[in-house]
Structure 1
């Protein structure tokens, strides 16, 4: 078996993992990022999770920056993102469209610049633990098994794969029945007449989400649409959802549809995941046919892309030193060990029923994510970032969003780099020093 030795291993190449690896690499630590697909981006590219939402509070105050903003700045310079734009369904203040194909290449460039070794087509299937430390992760690859040894490990797998295999305490779904938020197979359509969609919205405001800024639509570029309630109800499709949701772009006549819903299946069970992929793709054909036949503006539209895999909102997550709670979010709680902030509201897609439960953030519209949510219990050299940090089921409904994942990823990578440099465990790291470094790197903590 081949053996590789490094300082920091990041498992999972989604937004959290990318930002963690860039931060760790920039610290000077030898860093490797491991991804099972042939490209990076995680749910943002694999499952077409688009656009990113949100970097801001409902009042428009930016609370996520650092590497996350650097990526946007560089995408804008490549004409691959318009930057932060108004959310025209009104659920949040801003959303951030981007071109996923350019994002895939840009982040590879940024990782190379940071000196990070990238290993694609590699699946972690075992973890070796001695005493309370991970010694190595084992990869299954086309060229055989590879054992990767490191001083620090960051789990940004989305499914807490490393934490689970290392025997760290984990949680799954909601407390009462372990059911998770549903999965969604996303897809794009081209040939959409967006001017016609917008005109219909202005003429029929009652058919759209209550926060939609109808009075301003004639002055705003259409970015998001949530509603068509009457059309959806009349169609009576066998999908347990109560509305149509889509986002515009990247093309001028293109939309990303987020409407399918697969419930009751576990994204960490291979049999369930297989069934979800089949159900999701059948729902895509059903929803696209409905939209072409019944929605104004979609008469000449057709499917242009379907996700490489079904989008997963929730599976396993860390049961860490502290678990963020829904009250921490809705009350806009501040923590002394804050390493990231977010302004995204609670957004729970019901595990069983049709609706979405939403709750907004009090105070200044943002809440803190404490460093303790990134720390595993019982494993001294493991950090988490992204979707699998330590939260309740309800709080995960905000921390799972990509910009929040980017922020916790950067914090995890920065902490790992500092811990390696100082020869301490992440648990022993001086949080004030970590916060100072994050601020120097453009992270907004105040």
Structure 2
């Protein structure tokens, strides 16, 4: 029998954006339901081991993301599950934020319950029913059979713009010329790493590491990130289209998270492509781990302790919205009258075909504005997007896709969805100034 649930706001996708959207909607006074296909929350931050969170600050160290995202960090710190914001010792950004994913999974459920949010895990949205340009309901497949969920407003935080796509809202994918997307990465953890040996090698061989690595400060900084070992990687000559070693330390003292595998040319919205990507990614994990044990100082006794439950996905579909954030908006640090979030993360494009990463930095005060219009589709009057699938160009997505940015746009989308539902208007009709005031009152940084 097809069950029916009626609510005010439905958030689809329980990653960083969806968690923050649902908490925001619940706190704003709307009956809110969060749907997640896995048996736990966290999205790429947990299921794919995307760690640490990068970044809440500009390159100069000014904090530009706060609100619910910062509250989560504060509560993790109180649980001794995060050191808070620490210096990035590879130097790509000013700060990164390590966290314990298992504690994060539990904490965010507590926060959702505190906000009065209903949660449906092990549930997958596979159909959207519309009436013209209006979503009436979504259908969820589950162990309990199909469930129809009716709501006033809907928030797409699936990462892949699944809800927008199924509703008929215009979506884009990959680069404009060929639709190719940034590569996927199977991340993994290793234990038994002698991080003191790694740090000492970096101090003695600074030329083998990323040019922005703060080597002179390393003796007085806890090691948080390592980018380089260029000579070792080149000599290994593994069949992985990558140009460097990259790993992050923690959560434990002898533990690292390795971000080095690279699966290119496959579509993260195609199940056969995803199947192939999982196979390739896991084989690459074994190759990389063997290389690190045999070649890198400090890894002689290291072993794989965890591999992602699924491959990490940087880019698939995204909304073709009322405004598409462009690379110039980012690099010029442009302001927007309808700003609902800011970010200080630079352009960071993992090339769809070659080995490299294209980086570009932000001018002005080191941050750029994300407009409310990027959350709104060109059609479908009761849908918003948050997180990785907001409306951007391929190049601008290379900054908005990062977890803190996703948390910030998620909070904005959830707040807007709830304000619209409670007021009986569409998100397009919502007074942007009132939304901005509510976000500011809830700790978001908009100036």
| Smaller-chain TM-score bracket | over 0.9
1:140 aligns to what? 141
- Where does residue 270 of structure 2 map in the other structure? 269
The alignment partner of 2:139 has SS state of: strand
Q: Aligned to 2:365, what secondary structure does the other structure show? A: coil
SS in 2 for 1:354: coil
Q: Secondary structure at the match of 1:139?
A: strand
SS at match of 2:396: helix
Q: Deviations over 1:336-389 (max 9, x none)?
A: 000000000000000000000000000000000000000011100000000000
1:226 and 2:196 correspond: no
Name the residue aligned to 2:89: 88
**Residue matched to 2:435:** 434
Partner in structure 1 of residue 256 of structure 2: 255
Please state if 1:342 is matched with 2:340.
Answer: no
SS in 2 for 1:144: coil
- Residue 25 of structure 1 pairs with residue 48 of structure 2: no
Report the alpha carbon displacement of residue 418 of structure 1 after superposing the two structures with TM.
Answer: 0.7
1:244-281, Cα deviation, whole Å (9 max, x unpaired): 10000000000000000000000000000000000000
Write the mapping of 1:237-386 to structure 2, written as runs, cut at 5 A: 237-386=238-387
CA distance in 2 between partners of 1:29 and 1:438 (Å): 15
**2:172 is aligned with 1:171:** yes
Q: Which blocks of at least 5 consecutive residues in structure 1 are unaligned?
A: none
Structure 1 residue 421: Cα displacement:
1.6
Structure 1 residue 422 displacement after superposition:
1.2
Give distance in 1, aligned partners of 2:9 and 2:340.
19
Distance apart, 1:404 and its partner CA = 0.1
Cα distance in 2 for partners of 1:12, 1:381 equals: 17
> How far apart, in 1, do the equivalents of 2:18 and 2:171 lie?
19
The superposition leaves residues 103-145 of structure 1 with CA deviations (integer Å, 9 ceiling, x where unpaired) of 0000000000000000000001000000111001101001100
Match of 1:408 in 2: 409
Q: Distance in 1 between matches of 2:257 and 2:89?
A: 14
Query: In the aligned structure 2, how far is the partner of 1:98 from the partner of 1:68?
Result: 12
Q: CA deviation at 1:334?
A: 0.2
2:209 alignment partner in structure 1: 208
Instruction: Supply the distance in 2 between the matched residues of 1:6 and 1:106 (Cα, whole angstroms).
Output: 24
Aligned counterparts of 1:145 and 1:85: Cα–Cα separation in 2: 45
Report the equivalent of 2:194.
193
Secondary structure class of the residue paired with 2:155 = strand
Q: Which residue of 1 aligns with 2:218?
A: 217
Aligned length: 446
- Tell me by how many angstroms 1:319 deviates: 0.2
Pair 1:396-2:397 in alignment: yes
Please list every run of at least 4 consecutive aligned residues from structure 1 whose deviation after the TM superposition is greater than 3 angstroms.
none
In structure 1, the partner of 2:53 is 52
- State how far apart, in whole Å, the 2-side matches of 1:201 and 1:43 are: 30
Residues in 1 aligned to 2:375 and 2:51: alpha-carbon distance in whole angstroms? 25
Structure 1 residue 420: deviation in Å?
Answer: 1.1
Structure 1 length-normalised TM: 1.00
Q: Flag structure 2 segments of 5+ consecutive residues without an equivalent.
A: none
Once the two structures are superposed, what CA deviation does each residue of 1:128-175 show, in whole Å capped at 9, x if it has no partner?
A: 000111001101001100000100000000000000000000000000
For normalisation by structure 2, the TM-score amounts to 1.00
